[in-house]
Amino acid sequence: MRATDHMPTELRLPTNAIVQPDKDRFLNEENPFEAMMLRFDRAAELLDLEPGLYKVLRKPEKQIIVACPVMMDNGEIEVFTGIRVLYNTSRGPAKGGIRFDMQVTLDEVTALAAWMTWKCAVVNVPFGGSKGGVICDPLKMSAGELERLTRRYTVGIIATLGPDSDVPAPDVNTNERVMAWIMDTYSMRMGHTVTAVVTGKPVEMGGSMGRREATGRGCTFVTKEALAHLGMTVRGTTVAVQGFGNVGSVTAHLLTREGCKVVAVSDRTGALYTPPGLDIDDVLAYVRHNKTLEGYIKAQALSNDELLTLDVDVLVPAAMENVITTKNAPKVRAKIICEGANGPTTAAADSILEEKGIFVIPDILANAGGVTVSYFEWVQDRGGYFWSEETVNERLRDLMVRSFRDVLELSRQHKVNMRTAAYMLSISRVATVHRLRGIYA
């Protein structure tokens, strides 16, 4: 059997499907670009953003599409499509992950790049926003094929890559290993080692302590802030976490350590529920051994939909986009939603949650711990001086708590919800820099 026999033929996606997306296909509740733009428009209106700047901030700066020919293990050539979008670089180098996935589209990558722009601005790290993706199914490729694809994609986008221009990180289906290949390819082309070209690298080659846990740790800091704001105690707070991967499992673990009762967790195989609280260390050990939650017998089984509407104090959607929609938002009973995932709530569901008085910590604030420690990694690489894990965690806490309070203050001033306030804060920060810099030429 040839190596390409089990590869979906859709790998050779028609380029025009990507360059000129059929707009009607995307105009729905779940289109990430539309979801981002609806929130952007609301914040821009409240900020009374000048029409010129409004136009500038609604457009990505650069969209790159590259063909990546790869010699497969069987000696045949396959051509993959790679995308990189630099949305806005006015505040500093673009920052954003790279995903390897069959669902990658230019629209989605652009929305995610815009999200990164606002996320970096909310926590006030000196980065712009970008995102990248390659249309492929990495689970059907060998390590050698993935390495050759990564290196070819890196060379395809190398003109804009660099510690001062665009700094990738891991995202869906990419990891430390992939970052190491990107760093090596870039360094070989430059003729010297450039660690700061990517973040999320192995610690042995310039990665930061605490990066792996950073997003979940950040979620924990802002959840505690929200509880304090609402006059609730941390101890005994009930929590449901959707998604038990990097973000969800770390959040569940750290909130348990703080005295919360994590009563439900889930992954793509289903959900577990124990009203008195799950033994999270035991669940973690089970998943380390069995890969998924499937088959864990010391808890009641639940569906992922049921988990979202449990009667808990805090709900942490930490799996994927568009899980809280107009269909289930009326049934959500949590008092606080901490958006560990990117885009878990559709724009249409926002107003339902607001009417119900649910306090939402929006994704661009809640899960910004990851990019914050990526920023710390970039700083450490450039300074050539590495911090202890305690220092990383302490600085992460300072930055997350300060950002939460900045957003809360703005939401009080303008009498808007936390999401609108977060967008207002980030858009105003990006707009200020554009005003100061002026329009070139």
Least distance between ligand NAD and beta carbon 432 (Å): 25
- Pull the structure tokens for residue 262: 């994590």
Q: Are 239 and 311 within 8 A, CB to CB?
A: no
Could you say whether residue 242 binds ligand NAD (CB under 6 A)?
Answer: yes
Residue in this structure with the two tokens 């994704």, named with its chain if needed: 363
Distance separating alpha carbons of residues 257 and 391, to the nearest angstrom: 20
Least distance between ligand NAD and beta carbon 180 (Å): 17
Q: Which residue is closest to ligand NAD by CB?
A: 245
Q: Order of strands across the sheet with 128-135? A: 62-71, 77-88, 128-135, 94-100, 166-170
**Active-site positions?**
131
Segment lying near ligand NAD (by CB under 6 A), choices 51-59, 65-73, 130-138, 245-253:
245-253
Could you say whether residue 366 binds ligand NAD (CB under 6 A)?
Answer: no
Distance separating alpha carbons of residues 379 and 206, to the nearest angstrom: 11
Scan residues 341-360 and list those touching ligand NAD (CB under 6 A).
341-342
Q: Name which of 93 and 200 has its Cβ closer to ligand NAD.
A: 200
Could you say whether residue 245 binds ligand NAD (CB under 6 A)?
Answer: yes
User: Which residues, listed in sequence order, are joined to residue 345 by a DSSP beta bridge?
Assistant: 324
Q: Name which of 59 and 268 has its Cβ closer to ligand NAD.
A: 268
Q: How many residues bind ligand NAD, per CB under 6 A?
A: 20
Looking at this protein, which amino acid is placed at residue 65? I
Distance separating alpha carbons of residues 375 and 372, to the nearest angstrom: 5
Determine the longest span between alpha carbons in the chain, in angstroms: 66
Distance separating alpha carbons of residues 236 and 275, to the nearest angstrom: 12
Could you say whether residue 367 binds ligand NAD (CB under 6 A)?
Answer: yes
Segment lying near ligand NAD (by CB under 6 A), choices 45-53, 136-144, 226-234, 313-321:
313-321
Could you say whether residue 319 binds ligand NAD (CB under 6 A)?
Answer: yes
Distances (CA, A) of 289 to 47, 184, 286, 296: 51, 32, 5, 11
Least distance between ligand NAD and beta carbon 363 (Å): 7
Distance separating alpha carbons of residues 162 and 84, to the nearest angstrom: 13
Least distance between ligand NAD and beta carbon 307 (Å): 8
Q: Are 316 and 240 within 8 A, CB to CB?
A: yes
Strands (E), 205-343: 238-242, 261-267, 270-273, 300-302, 314-317, 336-338
Least distance between ligand NAD and beta carbon 357 (Å): 25
User: Which one of residues 115, 127, 244, 286 is an interface residue with ligand NAD (CB under 6 A)?
Assistant: 244
User: Which one of residues 130, 174, 238, 304 is an interface residue with ligand NAD (CB under 6 A)?
Assistant: 304
Q: Are 243 and 317 within 8 A, CB to CB?
A: yes
Segment lying near ligand NAD (by CB under 6 A), choices 24-32, 225-233, 315-323, 417-425:
315-323
Segment lying near ligand NAD (by CB under 6 A), choices 36-44, 88-96, 316-324, 376-384:
316-324
Could you say whether residue 320 binds ligand NAD (CB under 6 A)?
Answer: yes
For ligand NAD, the binding residues (CB under 6 A) are: 215, 242-248, 266-268, 304, 318-320, 340-342, 367, 370
